[in-house]
Amino acid sequence: MAGEDVENRGGEKNNHSSAHAVEDRDRGWVSWLIPMFVVANIAVFVVEMYLNNCPKHIKNRGLGYRDGDRCVARFFGRLSFQPLRENPLFGPSSSTLRRLGALDWDKVVHHHQGWRLVSCIWLHAGVIHLVANMLSLVLVGIRLEQHFGFVRIGIIYLLSGFGGSILSSLFIQNRISVGASGALFGLLGAMLSELITNWSIYTNKVAALLTLLVIVLINLAVGILPHVDNFAHIGGFLTGFLLGFILLPRPQFGWKERHNLPAGIRVKSKYKPHQYALWLVSLILLITGFTLGLVMLFRGVNGYKHCHWCRYVSCVPTSKWKCDES
């Protein structure tokens, strides 16, 4: 009995029971932060529309009453949407978004408005944009918060949004960018790394891995459409992927119950060697990536000059549409 490895007692039976025990224990968290994020995003969008004031906006520009120049859903009054030819997503004007904190490379670099790297993740271009992101946030975020708590998931969400903004600014320098997509991709990246680092405790792990990879690839494929900021998606995903290794490793089976184990049974360290290794490598890569990204950004580096093929990451020209090559 002395020196016996607690993980090997009972063989496969322990692995399955530990997996279910982990699931049951972690679901004890009550999700409140993700719902608060959803409420905050909706509230910010209402403020966007209130300040946008489409009827006044249209009147001040001296436009006529052509159908294409009229606000959409005019019964909302000042909350009505910009004409669809300006914003097909049913939202405010680009000038309103820029005024409220949209990601704008020129203002970040030349006007020292670095706060836009964070403020942009709370803004949305329209109702369609908002609904799509909030549904995704609810479906992905609530489950993660129930399993890992609000602190770790909140950190992943915010830092992933920030990481997405950095990468976006290095490439998208001629138009504004808004939305929580980078933060959402960060949660998907964290789900993937959490599955990898805690591989041994899960059942049906291959199916879960393939499902998650398909979801990520489909969403990234959508990013090659014009006017979709795929760099924010990729930056957020990579940030969340690294943060998952740092914040979401689960202790080995028997660690939390080590004080109740019979004398003579050896309990290993809290985490497995590969978890420590992934934690260290991910921390180094994350700090290095953020540092290099911020230095390049505030020096005004244009990412396309160092990676010519990267333009196809965000938009692939076809016979149906063209991409802005600048």
Residues with catalytic roles = 181, 233
Q: In which element (H, E) is residue 4 found?
A: strand 4-5
Inter-residue contact 52 to 99 (CB < 8 Å): no
The answer to whether the beta carbons of residues 190 and 198 sit under 8 Å apart is: no
**Residue 79 tokens, joined:** 């909350």
Quote the tokens at residue 207.
Answer: 């199916």
Q: Quickly count: other Cβ atoms within 10 Å of residue 25's Cβ.
A: 12
Tokens of 214: 């398909």
CB 233 within 8 A of CB 182: yes
Angle at the Cα of 320 from the Cα atoms of 136 and 127, rounded to 5 degrees: 30
Q: How far apart are the first and last CA of the chain?
A: 70
Q: Are 133 and 236 in contact (CB under 8 A)?
A: no
The CB density around residue 48, as the number of other CB atoms within 10 Å, is 24
Task: Enter the tokens of residue 88.
Answer: 């097909």
- Residue from 297, 184, 175, 180 nearest 227 by CA: 175
- Residues 6 or more apart whose CB falls under 8 angstroms from that of 122 comprise 40, 41, 44, 101, 180
Torsion of CA 125, 131, 133, 138, to 10 degrees: 150
What's the CA dihedral at 282, 284, 290, 295 to 10 degrees?
-160
Enclosing H/E stretch for 208: helix 205-222
